[in-house]
Structure 1
Amino acid sequence: MAGTVSLPLGFDVPEGWTPLDPAGAGVPGVAFVAVHPEPGFTPNITLGVRQRPDPAPLAEIAGEAVERLGRTMALLDVVSRHDVGDPTAPGLTQVLRMRTGEGTDLVQTQVFLTVPGADGPIARVVLELVFTAEPEAAKRLTPDFRRFVAGVHVRRNDPAGEGEQL
């Protein structure tokens, strides 16, 4: 139901994070990926951009993400889910606790932000920002993810703007 779309996004990569080519990093279908060097599981931030031609509420879209992820995890719990943003650009954030098939415990924070499309709310674009790390690393690195999310913006006629452009 969701299609990949190109959107001129601006954002700042947090200090200590290394951007990677998504395809080369084994994360096809996302527009951006960055990793942070840590022993064990490598913490990562991904940014996906999808056009949603349907009027699905963000809670449903977040549920779809949980369902997809649940197929690959040995354990998956939704710890919290909250609406964010405002009526013109609604968003949703959820925190998941997971265990991989190899027994690695992970925490994942997912943020879904709506960018209204040119044809109204049905042609909207949904940004999916995801941060995944082991629990101790998540405690240290969550402020970096929050800064990343806060800095994501759509560029409008500003080719010389700051940050990365997708």
Structure 2
Amino acid sequence: MPTTLPTPIEFRLPQGWLPAQPEGFEAANVAFAAVHPQPDAGFAANITIDGEIPPDAVTLVDLANSSVERLREVAESVTVSHRREVGSADAPALTQRLTFSTVVDDTRRDLVQSQVYLSLSDIGDPHKRAVIRLALTATAAQHDAVLGAFQDFVRTVRPDTGEEV
């Protein structure tokens, strides 16, 4: 069952990507999922969105580390191949890229997951910060081909104020 985000957001899916029912080990925490229309060797690249309101002392690095540990519970050879804090003091963000192996539909796959953590002020209470995690998961062979679409998608994510633009 999909979850709801701690603060409403709006976004635009990359052209051709299709909304999907979240599945897999973190499905209970996923608020939205989309799949690429052209699978690579039977695995469809996917984008997922989830979020939380972490305790004040928890940093984006802490959340990223927790994500790595959760993935290690279900996958093998999990490696953080890239991590960088970005954004500003008012709107901090973190990006990280994970490589790992796992079995999907009885087939061992080498996958890459690019994650973006966005810290957003809660619309109802600006003193509360919500963290939204955007993740792209693709085969190692397809990742670079779909990364640009994911980056375009990330640039469209913003708080949903309910106002027409």
When normalised by structure 1's length, the TM-score is: 0.85
| Within-5 A mapping of 1:110-149 | 110-117=115-122, 118=125, 120=127, 123-149=128-154
Say if 2:40 is the partner of 1:20: no
Checking the alignment, whether the CA contact within 8 Å between 2:5 and 2:31 is kept in structure 1 is no
Instruction: In structure 2, give the amino acid aligned to 1:108.
Output: Q
Is contact 1:109–1:130 with CA below 8 Å preserved after alignment? yes
Alpha-carbon separation, structure 2, partners of 1:157 and 1:18: 24
Letter of the aligned partner of 1:71 in structure 2? E
TM-score by length of 2: 0.86
Aligned: 1:156 with 2:161? yes
Q: How does 1:1-166 map to 2 (within 5 A)?
A: 5-22=5-22, 25-26=23-24, 27-36=27-36, 37-38=38-39, 39-101=41-103, 102-117=107-122, 118=125, 120=127, 123-158=128-163, 160-161=164-165
Q: Secondary structure at the match of 2:149?
A: helix
Contact 2:6/2:130, CA 8 A, preserved across alignment: no
* Aligned length in residues: 154
- Distance between the aligned counterparts of 1:6 and 1:81, measured in 2? 24
Cα drift, residue 54 of structure 1: 3.2
Does structure 2 retain, via aligned residues, the 8 Å contact 1:93–1:112? yes
CA RMSD of aligned residues (A): 1.8
Taking a change above 3 Å as real, the CA distance of residues 109 and 80 of structure 1, as seen in their structure-2 partners, is: same
Say which is worse superposed, 37-46 or 71-80, in terms of deviation. 37-46
Is the 8 Å Cα contact of residues 32 and 48 (structure 1) preserved in structure 2? yes
Structure of higher RCO (CA pairs closer than 8 Å, 6+ residues apart): 1
Q: Which runs of 5+ in 2 are unaligned?
A: none
